[in-house]
């Protein structure tokens, strides 16, 4: 698909066969987008219809119109943006901090290879440990609320960031490292001139994984202890059997994580192109 956009921008006009080829490809692409949209509308339509015609109990399954009404209600009583902002704030914090900490540890382990050898099994164990198991400890050690939630988010993201980045660093060609060494480069120069720019695509891919993990961590943290936020709404909605509230929270989460993923994708395109 990308190629065709490029051709369009260059005002490339090829032979008749080429134009025909482009037309067919464009039609195919259009069909894919169209079907995607159709699928969404169909799903929402069936959902709504099944609630309206009482095929399924809307008290259990909710419905698109009830979700919209619920959202308006939340907006009217002034809590919609409060909950969104709290969760968003926690997610961005957990995401940014875990990326920074993870990258820092990865660099440290890359530079100091004895440390890497010592810590390797610990990293493996920490990676396979279900972090939710640390929930009670987190609450006792850092207290309830935002701190606990962000800590949970960081714990979930940081190990995988470290492992991903470290592996990427270790995969940079030895010959290139030798080349820089033969020019008299020190470790710091090898890092800044070669390792970090060479692994930028891996870094961006890690950011994408991290973002998803940060959402998981934050919602889990909010399950654990919170008085506001989308995770709180989910738990609360479940407890008082208000499935509209649960569904609304899920839909908002979908939209938010989609937007954040989009932002990172755009960022990736700009940065990887510019490096």
Binding site for other proteins (CB under 8 A): 173, 175-176, 178-185, 189, 193-194, 197-198, 200, 275
CB of 117 to other proteins, least distance (A): 15
Q: Is 90:213 a contact under the CB 8 Å cutoff? A: no
Residue among 142 and 200 whose Cβ is closer to other proteins:
200
CB of 197 to other proteins, least distance (A): 5
CA distance 171 to 103: 16
CB of 189 to other proteins, least distance (A): 5
Residue among 92 and 200 whose Cβ is closer to other proteins:
200
Tell me how crowded residue 141 is: count the other CB atoms within 10 A of its CB. Answer: 11
Tell me how crowded residue 64 is: count the other CB atoms within 10 A of its CB. Answer: 16
Residue among 16 and 273 whose Cβ is closer to other proteins:
273
Q: Is 223:231 a contact under the CB 8 Å cutoff? A: yes
Tell me how crowded residue 87 is: count the other CB atoms within 10 A of its CB. Answer: 27
Residue among 18 and 275 whose Cβ is closer to other proteins:
275
Q: Is 113:229 a contact under the CB 8 Å cutoff? A: no
CB of 205 to other proteins, least distance (A): 16
């Amino acid at each position: 698909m990308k190629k065709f956009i490029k051709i369009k921008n260059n005002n490339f006009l090829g032979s008749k066969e080429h134009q025909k080829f482009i037309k067919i490809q464009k039609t195919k692409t259009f069909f894919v987008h169209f079907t995607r949209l159709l699928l969404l509308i169909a799903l929402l339509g069936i959902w709504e219809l099944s609630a309206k015609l009482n095929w399924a109990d809307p008290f259990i399954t909710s419905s698109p119109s009830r979700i919209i009404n619920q959202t308006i209600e939340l907006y009217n009583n002034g809590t919609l943006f409060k909950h969104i902002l709290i969760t968003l704030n926690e997610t961005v914090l957990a995401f940014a901090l875990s990326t920074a900490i993870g990258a820092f540890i990865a660099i440290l382990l890359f530079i100091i290879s004895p440390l890497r050898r010592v810590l390797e099994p610990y990293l493996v164990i920490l990676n396979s440990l279900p972090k939710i198991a640390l929930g009670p400890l987190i609450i006792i050690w850092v207290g309830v609320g935002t701190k606990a939630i962000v800590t949970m988010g960081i714990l979930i993201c940081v190990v995988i960031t470290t492992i991903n980045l470290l592996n990427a660093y270790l995969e940079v060609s030895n010959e290139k490292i030798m080349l820089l060494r033969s020019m008299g480069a020190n470790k710091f120069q090898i890092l800044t001139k070669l390792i970090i720019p060479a692994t930028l695509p891996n870094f961006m891919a890690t950011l994408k994984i991290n973002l998803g993990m940060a959402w998981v961590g934050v919602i889990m943290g909010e399950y654990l202890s919170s008085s506001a936020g989308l995770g709180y709404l989910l738990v609360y909605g479940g407890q008082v059997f208000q499935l509209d509230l649960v569904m609304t929270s899920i839909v908002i989460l979908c939209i938010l994580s989609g937007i954040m993923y989009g932002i990172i994708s755009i960022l990736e395109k700009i940065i990887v192109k510019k490096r």
